[in-house]
């Protein structure tokens, strides 16, 4: 199985999006999460057949259920890493240890955590330029290209037939 470890702030939103929602009357989860970023993420999932695992602190908040419902609306079903002292690197490693059938993974995050060792850093697709201070640009088409490049495209029936 291929896995996309997903942060939310700085990935599924952006500074520009948050400014726009403040000026509008958007309510609920969509005030904080940009549906267009979810649609971009969905492209990577479809192309790679990857599973999503939430690493974001959002998984521990009262907004978690709303986030999960919104993701499901777009056909994205997500698992979550366990909580280990807010040490994201350790949380990812524990999830990997508990799920031995992972063939490859990427980490989508706008921050670099001290608990990311060299192995995890190689798997990081750094999103945005906020690095924890602002949201930056959020997920972009170039990031989707990078995810697909790293995880590889899903084979289609047509691909299988061409190989025969």
Q: Which of 48, 62, 52, 67 is nearest to 9 (CA)?
A: 67
Cβ–Cβ < 8 Å for 107, 10:
no
* pLDDT tens for each residue of 89-124: 999 999 999 998 999 999 999 989 999 999 999 999
Q: Which pLDDT does position 103 carry in this prediction?
A: 96
Q: What is the reported pLDDT for 77?
A: 95
C-alpha dihedral (55, 70, 72, 106), degrees to nearest 10: -30
CA distances from 71 to 111, 117, 134 (A): 22, 29, 23
User: Which regions of the chain are under pLDDT 50?
Assistant: 157-164
User: What pLDDT sits at residue 22?
Assistant: 83
Tokens found for residue 31: 């005030």
What are residue 79's DSSP bridge partners? 53
Domain 2-6+29-153 has CATH 3.30.530: no
Q: Comparing C-alpha atoms, which of 57, 17, 15, 41 is closest to residue 125?
A: 41
Q: What percent of the chain has pLDDT over 70?
A: 91
The predicted structure's pLDDT at residue 86: 86
Encoding tokens for residue 145? 């290209």
What pTM was estimated for this model as a whole?
0.89
Q: What's the confidence (pLDDT) of residue 161?
A: 40
What are the residue ranges spanned by the domains of the chain?
A: 2-6+29-153
């Amino acid at each position: 199985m291929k896995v996309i470890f997903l942060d939310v702030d700085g990935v599924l939103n952006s500074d520009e999006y948050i400014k726009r929602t403040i000026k509008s009357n958007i309510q609920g989860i969509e005030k904080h999460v940009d549906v267009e970023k979810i649609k971009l993420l969905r492209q990577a999932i479809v192309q790679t057949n990857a599973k999503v695992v939430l690493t974001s602190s959002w998984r521990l908040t009262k907004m978690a259920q709303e986030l999960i419902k919104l993701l499901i609306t777009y056909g994205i079903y997500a698992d979550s890493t366990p909580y280990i002292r807010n040490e994201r690197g350790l949380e990812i490693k524990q999830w990997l240890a508990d799920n031995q059938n992972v063939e490859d993974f990427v980490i989508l995050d706008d921050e670099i955590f001290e608990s990311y060792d060299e192995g995890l850093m190689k798997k990081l697709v750094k999103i945005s330029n906020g690095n924890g201070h602002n949201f930056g640009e959020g997920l972009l088409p170039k990031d989707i290209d990078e995810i697909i490049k790293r995880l590889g495209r899903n084979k289609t029936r047509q691909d299988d037939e061409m190989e025969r």
